[in-house]
Amino acid sequence: MSMRGLPLTIAIIAIALLVSFFLWSIGIYFFFLPIIFLPFLKFIKFKSNKIKTKICTTCGLESDGNYCPRCGTKI
């Protein structure tokens, strides 16, 4: 195993511990809690402003309007 990345790893750990200690000392005790829940954000469905596409019952064409652009049927 190569030890080339070891100094960078140690530097990142030291900086993280210093930032943690600084935030702890100024009274921000639970600053790390949001980081714990970040991987679970993909399971939460947010309300999106997607345009809903509708399928024409006559010809089967998808459209986001009220009328089919191919046959003119109200969707």
**pLDDT at 5 (0 to 100):** 76
pLDDT above 70: residue 48: no
Q: In the chain, which ranges are E strands?
A: 54-55, 62-63
Residues 54 and 75 in one domain: yes
Q: What is the pTM of this model?
A: 0.39
Is residue 30 within 8 Å of residue 20, measured between CB atoms? no
Residues 55 and 20 in one domain: no
**pLDDT at 46 (0 to 100):** 66
Domain boundaries, position 22: 1-42
Residues 19 and 52 in one domain: no
Q: What is the pLDDT of residues 13-45, one digit of tens each?
A: 888 778 778 888 888 776 666 666 667 777 776
- What is the C-alpha separation between 18 and 8, in angstroms, rounded? 15
Is residue 50 within 8 Å of residue 41, measured between CB atoms? no
**pLDDT at 34 (0 to 100):** 64
Picking from 5, 35, 8, 7, the residue whose alpha carbon sits closest to that of residue 20 is 35
Residues 66 and 35 in one domain: no
**pLDDT at 3 (0 to 100):** 73
Residues 73 and 62 in one domain: yes
Is residue 39 within 8 Å of residue 27, measured between CB atoms? no
Residues 66 and 37 in one domain: no
Per-residue pLDDT averaged across 40-68, rounded? 80
Residues 55 and 74 in one domain: yes
